[in-house]
Amino acid sequence: MKPETLRVAAVQLQSQDDVLRNLAECARLVAIAGHEGAKLVVLPENFAYFGADETKRKLAERLSDPNGPIQGALSEMARASGVFLVAGGFPEASDDFTKPFNTALVFGGDGMLVGSYRKIHLFDVALQDGTLLAESSGTTPGESLFTFDLGRFRVGLSICYDLRFPELYRALVSRGANVLLVPAAFTVHTGKDHWHALLRARAIESQAYVIAAAQWGKHPHGRTTYGHSLVVDPWGSIVAEASDRVSVVSTDLDLNYLEQVRAAIPCLEHRRL
C-alpha cells in the first residue's frame, strides 16, 4: 500500500501595519508554497496587520461577510493555488467593538471557508526586558476547539500563546488530531528560550506532527519577533526550519511513520487521568 503523505508549508512573514502590502506578500508566498506542491499552507498570527489596537478594531471583519477585504483575499489565495490555507490569526468582529476575536481561518482549495478557531489563551505578561503586553485589553477570548480533516490526517488548531497550555493539545488529540498547527508571533525574548522546547514537547507528548508558522523580525511599536518557523515530527525531531528571513518551509508528513511512533510507545492508550 502506498504511504499516505501530505505536503505542508509554513510561511514566515515580517508583517507591518499596511494591510494591502501584507496581503500581497501572503499571496506571493502562498503561491510559492503551492508551486512546491504543498496541499496545506499555514500563515502566522497577525499575517494581515501587525500594529496598533485602535486600527485593528477598524479592520475587524465578521465571518458572515466573506467578501471582507481580508477574507476575500485569503479565499482567492486558496483557490488560486488549490491549497487548504490556514490564516493564523486576524481580527474577527465580536459583540464588543473594542475587543475583536483573534481568529484563525481555514479555507479549502475551492476558496470556501471550512471553519475557524478563536484564540483561547490571551498573552498578558510583563517581560524581563520591560515589555508590557496585554492582549486581553483588546481581544475577546475564544471558547471552542476546532479540527478538520485532510485525508486521514486530522488537523487541530491553536494560536501562539496557546502553546503553553498542553491541555488544549491533549483535548485536540482526544478528538483525533494527529497534526497540530501553531501560527504565532513569539517575541524574541521568549522565543529564544522556549519556542523550540515547547513545540517539540507538544509533538512528543501528542505523538503528532506540529506545524508552526511564525512572524520574524521588526514590527511597528517596537515589537520584534523570533521567527524560526518549524515542522516537528511525532518523535520530536525538527524536520524543517526557517532561517532569519521571510520565507516558506515545506516538507512531507508521513502517516505511516506517525502510526509507527504511536504503536512503538502507545502512551496515548496508557493514559489514566
Helix (H) or strand (E) holding 24: helix 19-35
If phi > 0 it is left, if psi is from -120 to 50 it is alpha, else beta; for residue 130 that is left
Q: How far is it, in rounded angstroms, from Cα 106 to Cα 123? A: 23
CB atoms within 10 A of CB 44: 31
What angle in degrees, to the nearest 10, is found between the helix axes of 188-206 and 166-174?
A: 30
CA angle, residues 213, 186, 235, in degrees to nearest 5: 55
Q: How far is it, in rounded angstroms, from Cα 71 to Cα 114? A: 12
Q: How far is it, in rounded angstroms, from Cα 59 to Cα 56? A: 5
**Active-site position among 25, 45, 61, 135:** 45
Helix (H) or strand (E) holding 31: helix 19-35
**Active-site position among 61, 92, 119, 135:** 119
* Residue 45 designated active-site: yes
- Annotated catalytic residues are 45, 119, 160
